[in-house]
Structure 1
Amino acid sequence: MSTLSKPDTGTWLVADIGGSNARFGMLDGKGAEIRHVKKLAVADYANPSQAAQAYLDELAASMGTAYRPPSKAAFAIATAVTGDRAELTNSPWILSRTEVEAKLKLDSLLVLNDFEALALSLPRLQASQLKVSAPLPAPHGKLAVIGPGTGLGVASVVQTRHGWIALAGEGGHVTLAAADDFESALLAHVRKQFSHVSGERLLSGIGLPLLHQAIAAMSGSPAAVLSTERIVEYGLDGSDAVCRQTLDVFCALLGSVAGNLALVLGASAVYIGGGIVPRFGDYFFQSRFRERFESKGRLRSYMENIPSAVITDTLAALTGAAVALEQHDM
């Protein structure tokens, strides 16, 4: 922190707002532990400020005289952040930075993309927050994260002499490419319904049911429409062959996209975030993910040296939001 700056002595509010859930937490300024974490369903509230106020009201009631209202906040949201007003991609919520700042009586509110926040957390992740198939080296260079949740998030961080700098983007909406004849036929089938088949269209919570239906139709045995939760459940326990194949194709396609991300960025490691893959457990590491991640022709040996890890801590983006506040406060 600059010697001309005054240290922040107030509490900070951090939030990770996705398409289905919003997670809130509080911390006592720079470097403090995030506490009082609570998950709220997006569907239960009209907008982010209403959800945040409900969280703060409950916290004030439980803490009594020990409660101190936040002076600053950072909201990580599941959409591109380009101005004061942001519409969440897979949610009815609309966020206005100035409106939330006023309603919560904040000195300042920082709004950033949710995967930008998750990327900022990568250098600080501990072994207990990850599941890996091989040891990870110390974070260095460029780190990438891709995560199927309600949508598909993508971001990265770059190590500089000034610290880690996040690179936000909308990589989940890149065009999905086929790697074999089956996938070519699969994408052709989906294109009958959607002219542009992005990564998010199939590799997400909203995409898994579409992927499941497309695979069922291609097999000639149309299946019942199932939720993402049921597809994952029946696929993992092996009780439904189409669901099992859906998970197999999902992991293979995700491997291709993650490998492309590693190549474009020149990443030293790729992390898998979001709420879907952590549910797969050991199945993910037995899937075709790594095979397809590494399957880049003449660069296979290069790809083999880029490790991948699954982020199992669903609260990691809150840490990233706190890091963003620290950087903003410098």
Structure 2
Amino acid sequence: MQPTKSVVADIGGTNARFAWLDAAGQPFGVKVLPVRDYLGIAEAFLAFTGGVPVEQASVAVACPVNEDLIKLTNSPWVFSKSATKERLALARFDVINDFTAQALALPRLTGADIVPVGPAMPVRATEPLAVVGPGTGLGVGGLLPIGPGRWVPISGEGGHVSFGPVDALEREVLSRLSQRYDRVSTERILSGAGLVLLHQTLEEIEGRPDDGLTDAAAITAAGLAADGPARATLLRFLAILGSVAGDVALTLGATGGTFIGGGITPRLLPLVPESQLLSRFHDKGRVGRMLKDAPLNVVVAPWAALHGAAARLDHPAPG
């Protein structure tokens, strides 16, 4: 397949994913580059293209994008949008928030790209949509319909809102974390590092000895393999995620559907049926009825943000 002169990228705290666009505007030839192996985005971009001329690029990054200077939240990369555009000799260089890209990807998802939580319900594309995703950090985005096939993405840093416990155990988790941090954001718990922190805090609360599980992958593997403390951590993580997803859906009025993206939740799918993910999504007191018929899905498409970055190029260049 011959590439066009367009490149899309999804830059996270751990990996940078690059792809070419084909003539139909679809990503292909995805290559994953470890962020730690490159000085910055320009070096990674040039390593991907291998000297092939590029005219335009759309890059999704895990941080705010309002200013010219981009500082990734969970990565050492810092770059100027204008200087990078000039260095790479691009006619167009769009930089969008990674969950703006996740939101823009939603209309492109097919049935094979999502797994319903609870009963499968059709996504209502004429109503607002929301996406939440724990990974290296916690991303939040939304999409508002403005006409047939036309959308406006909602950008923000919703993962950094304050954590809101809903029961005694979560209040104790918050109390203990508040002794360590000036402010406890939701991302502090709903992320890869947050999963480890949650597991360690639950050990402390329950008076259990340290089980030596010091990274998210190890906790996930142990929790999926057998019942025990690691599984209890994963189930609590999913319960908190359900509450947060419901909060985002209420905030955005996302009656069309809520999607859970990111790299963590797809790995936890075997535990979803026994978790409180769906019940906590619905448990919103007097306004819970609003979400009763709202679809909740887990995104399993591996390159959703790349499709969203590609969708950004379907629109006129900003400014």
The question of a shared fold, defined as TM-score above 0.5 by the shorter chain, is answered with yes
The Cα shift of 1:229 comes to 0.5
Report the number of matched residues: 311
Corresponding position of 2:12: 18
The 1-side partners of 2:273 and 2:7 are apart by: 36
The Cα shift of 1:102 comes to 2.0
Corresponding position of 1:55: 48
Is 1:307 the counterpart of 2:300? The answer is: no
Corresponding position of 2:96: 112
Is 1:181 the counterpart of 2:168? The answer is: yes
Superposition map of 1:178-257 within 5 A:
178-223=165-210, 224-238=212-226, 241-257=228-244
The 1-side partners of 2:220 and 2:4 are apart by: 43
Is 1:98 the counterpart of 2:82? The answer is: yes
CA contact (8 A) 1:72 1:106 kept: yes
CA contact (8 A) 2:56 2:90 kept: yes
The Cα shift of 1:140 comes to 2.3
SS in 1 for 2:95: strand
CA contact (8 A) 2:17 2:30 kept: yes
Question: 1:69-102, CA deviations, whole angstroms, 9 ceiling, x for partnerless residues?
Answer: 2200011000000111111000011121122212
Q: Which amino acid aligns with 1:38?
A: K
The Cα shift of 1:189 comes to 1.0
Q: Which amino acid aligns with 1:276?
A: I
SS in 2 for 1:90: coil
The Cα shift of 1:138 comes to 4.1
Superposition map of 1:148-163 within 5 A:
148-161=134-147, 163=150
The 2-side partners of 1:282 and 1:10 are apart by: 39
Q: 1:125 aligns with which of 77, 90, 109?
A: 109
The Cα shift of 1:211 comes to 0.6
Question: 1:22-64, CA deviations, whole angstroms, 9 ceiling, x for partnerless residues?
Answer: 10001145x332111111111111111111111111xx6xxxx
The 2-side partners of 1:94 and 1:125 are apart by: 31
State the percentage of identical aligned residues.
40
SS in 1 for 2:266: helix
CA contact (8 A) 2:224 2:270 kept: no
Corresponding position of 1:277: 265
Give the alignment's Cα RMSD to 1 decimal.
1.7
Q: Which amino acid aligns with 1:35?
A: F
CA contact (8 A) 2:68 2:82 kept: yes
Q: 1:120 to 1:186 in 2, by over 3 A?
A: same
Return 5+ residue gaps in structure 2 as ranges: none
SS in 2 for 1:117: helix
Question: 1:245-284, CA deviations, whole angstroms, 9 ceiling, x for partnerless residues?
Answer: 1111111111111111111111021000000001112312
The Cα shift of 1:329 comes to 4.6
The 2-side partners of 1:150 and 1:198 are apart by: 14
The 2-side partners of 1:48 and 1:182 are apart by: 42
Superposition map of 1:13-92 within 5 A:
13-28=7-22, 31-57=24-50, 69-92=53-76
The Cα shift of 1:186 comes to 1.2
The Cα shift of 1:106 comes to 0.9
SS in 2 for 1:226: coil
CA contact (8 A) 1:213 1:222 kept: no
